[in-house]
Structure 1
Amino acid sequence: MCVRTGLAAGGPLCLLGLLAALAATAWAALTAGTVPVAVNDVVSVLSGAREGMAGVLVWELRLPRFLAGLLVGVSLAVAGQLMQTVTRNPLASPGITGVVAGASMAVVLVQVCFSVDAAWLPGFGVLGGTAAALLTFVLAAQGGFTPLRLALAGVAVTALATALTTAFLLFSGAHAQQLYLWLAGGLLGRGWGHIALILPWSLVGLALALLGVRYLNLLQLEDEVARALGGRVLLWRLGFVAIAVALTAAAVAVAGPVGFVGLVAPHLVRLLLGNDQRITLPVVALAGAVLVTLSDLLARTLVAPAELPLGIFTALLGGPVFIGLIRGRAL
C-alpha cells in the first residue's frame, strides 16, 4: 500500500467542517430533549450555576453523556484506523481482535452470575476485552505473527465469545431486557464516572497514535521495504495493535458494542484525504466523534421520551456509506 498525499491540502478544511459539526451537535445535545433547555440556561450551567432543573439536565445528564459519546467515537475510530493500517485489511475493524465480543461477554457474565453494581460493569468490560485480545495474539503468534493470522484468530475468538454470550443470555432472567439493550449499544445513564474511566484510555491512546504516525506510514509499505528503511515491523505492529485494543476495550465497556464507527470513519477520511497518517488520523478521530454523538442525539430525541439503541443509528448512518464505498470500489 502506498502513502497517497495528493489530497492532504483538504485536511484543515475537513477538520474545520467536523469541528463545526461537533459544535452544532453539542449545542443540540445540551438543549434538545423531552424537557428543552434554553441556550442562556445552558450557558449559566456551564458557567457554574448548577441549581434547579437546568443544572440537573445539563450538568448531570446531557453533558457527561455527550462527552462519553465523543470519547467513544474518538476511541473506536482511531482504533479502526490503527487496525486497518496494521493488518493492511480495508475491512478490518476493532472487532477483529475479539475485544468487542470479549468485553460484551464479560459484562453479560457478571450481570447474570453475580448481579454486580452497574458502576463495576465498565471495569469488567475492559478485563474481558483485554483477555480476548491476549487470546487472539497468542493464537496469531503460532507459526509467525502476520496480518492474516491476526484476522483469522480474531474471527475465531469473536465467534467463541459471541457463542458464550448467547449462552449466558439464556439464563439472564430479569436482566434480559437490560442486557439486550446494552448489547445494542447506547449511552443511556452514562455519567461522570464513565468519563473518568474512558478519558485516560482515550487521551493516552490517541497521544501514542499521533506520536507514531511516521511508523504507521511505514507499515503501509511492504514489510521488506519497511525493514530496509530501518523499521522494526513486528514491534510496531504489536504496539499499535495494543493501542487499538485498549481504546476499543474502554469504549465498549462504556457504550456497549457500537458498530460501524471504526469501520466507516477511516474509509471516509481516506477516500477524501488519502493515506498520509499525519493528516488522516486527527480527522478520523473527529469523524468518529461526530458519528457517535450525532447518532446518540438521534437515538435520544427522535422518539422521545422513549429512546432507541445507539447502535441502530451508527449502523443506519454508516451502513449505506460503507455499501456505497464497496459499490464504488473505493476499497
Structure 2
Amino acid sequence: MRRPLLSYAAVVLLLLAAAYVSATTGSIKLAPGRLLHGLLFGGDEQAAVIRDLRLPRIVVSMLVGAALAVSGVLLQAVMRNPLADAGVIGVSSGAGLVSLVFVTVFPALFFWLPVFAFLGGALACALVYALSWQSGLSPIRLVLIGIAVNATFTGLGQSFNYRGSYAVTSVNQATTSIFTLKTWDDVRSMALYGLVGLLLAALLASWCNLLAMPDRTARNLGLPVVRARLIVSAVAVLLAASATAIGGLIAFVGLLVPHTARILVGSDHRTLIPFSALAGALLLLVADTLGRTLLAPTEIPASILMTVIGGPFFIFLLRKSGRIYGS
C-alpha cells in the first residue's frame, strides 16, 4: 500500500513541477511572483502572453496525454494484451481519417470534429474486432490486424495532403501534434470530451478487472462479457478520438504509461486508471516541453518524440510478451 501512495505523490509533484517549468521556459521568462501576480490581477503583457498562448498548450497536452494513457489501459483490459494502444491498432488513425473526410466535405461542421473522430475510431475498432475473430479473440492476432488497419488508415489520411484543399489544410493544422496554436477553446473542447471519458473509465474499473480474466471466469462471476467489452471499448475510443481531434496523431502514450504504471501501482484498475491519467499527462507535457525548447525556435512535434521513445519500447514488450495479458 505504501508504494502506490509514494508513486501517486511522486507523479503529482513531478506533474506540478513540469507544468511550472513549461510555463516559465521559452522566449518569455518571468519570475514566479511576477507570473502569479500577472495571471491573477493582469496588467502584465508578458504574463498575458503566457496566459493566452502557453497555458492552453500546457493544459491541452496534459488532457491529451491523460486521455491516451487511460485509453490504452482500457484497450489492454478489453483485449487482454499489453501491446494494445489506440495508436498501434488503428483507432487514432481511423479517427483522424474520418475527421478529415467529414470536415473536407462539410467544412462548416468543424466544431463537431471530436464527434467525427469518435465515429472514425469506432469504425477502426470494429474492423479490428471483426477481422480478428476466429472462434474467439487471439491477443496476438488483434495486434497484428490492428497494425494493418492502422497502416491502411494512415495511408488514406496522408493521401489527403495532395488534394490542395484549404479545408484539408486547415484540418491538418488543427490536428497536428504541435500544440503551438491551441487556445482556451481547445481546452474547453478537450475537457468536455476527455473528462467525461476519464470519469466513465474510473466508473468501469471493476469491469476492467474482470475483463482481464478469461471470458468463462468473468462470466461465472456475473459479468455480461460482451456488453462490458463493447462499453469499455466505446469509452476507450471516445478518449482516443477526442485526443486525436484536439491533439493530433500521437502513438505509444497508451503503451508506455500503462506498462510503467502496473509496475508502480499494480494491476488493480481502481488505482491503475487514475495513476495512468496523471502519468500520461506528465509524459506528454514533458515531451511537448522538450520539443518546444530543445531546438528553439524550431519545434519538434510531440508525436515524433513519442515515436522515437515508443518504437524501441514496443519491440521490447513484443519480445517479452510470451504470455497473454491477464493470465
TM-score interval, smaller chain:
0.7 to 0.9
**What is the aligned counterpart of 2:278 among 283, 286, 292?**
286
**What is the aligned counterpart of 2:259 among 267, 275, 282?**
267
User: How far is 1:163 from its partner?
Assistant: 2.6
Could you tell which deviates more after superposition, 36-45 or 168-177?
A: 168-177
> Is residue 33 from structure 1 mapped to residue 22 from structure 2 by the alignment?
no
Encode CA deviations 1:155-201: one digit per residue, 9 max, x unaligned: 45434322321322222378998877777622111111111111022
1:76–1:251 CA contact under 8 A, matched in 2: yes
Please provide the CA RMSD for this pair.
3.1
3-state SS of the aligned residue for 2:129?
helix
Encode CA deviations 1:13-69: one digit per residue, 9 max, x unaligned: 11111111101111111111112122112211332x233322332210111110001
Residue of structure 2 equivalent to 1:169: 161
**What is the aligned counterpart of 1:57 among 49, 54, 67?**
49
3-state SS of the aligned residue for 1:46?
helix
Residue of structure 2 equivalent to 1:296: 288
2:92–2:240 CA contact under 8 A, matched in 1: yes
> Is residue 197 from structure 1 mapped to residue 189 from structure 2 by the alignment?
yes
1:64–1:192 CA contact under 8 A, matched in 2: yes
> Is residue 45 from structure 1 mapped to residue 65 from structure 2 by the alignment?
no
User: How far is 1:308 from its partner?
Assistant: 1.4
User: How far is 1:266 from its partner?
Assistant: 0.4
Residue of structure 1 equivalent to 2:198: 206
**What is the aligned counterpart of 1:246 among 233, 238, 242?**
238
1:31–1:37 CA contact under 8 A, matched in 2: yes
Aligned length: 320
User: How far is 1:294 from its partner?
Assistant: 0.5
Could you tell which deviates more after superposition, 273-282 or 70-79?
A: 273-282
- What are the residue-to-residue correspondences of 1:218-229 with 2, within 5 Å? 218-229=210-221
Could you tell which deviates more after superposition, 92-101 or 74-83?
A: 92-101
Residue of structure 2 equivalent to 1:306: 298
User: How far is 1:329 from its partner?
Assistant: 5.8
2:102–2:116 CA contact under 8 A, matched in 1: no
Residue identity over aligned pairs, in percent, reads 34
**What is the aligned counterpart of 2:90 among 75, 98, 101?**
98
Could you tell which deviates more after superposition, 96-105 or 193-202?
A: 96-105
Residue of structure 1 equivalent to 2:123: 134
Letter in 2 for 1:87: M
3-state SS of the aligned residue for 1:95?
coil
2:98–2:120 CA contact under 8 A, matched in 1: no
Encode CA deviations 1:277-304: one digit per residue, 9 max, x unaligned: 1221111111100000001111111122
Instruction: Identify if the C-alpha distance between structure 1 residues 73 and 211 changes in structure 2 by more than 3 Å, giving closer, same or farther.
Output: same
1:34–1:301 CA contact under 8 A, matched in 2: no
Distance 1:26 1:84 in 2: 29
Residue of structure 1 equivalent to 2:12: 19
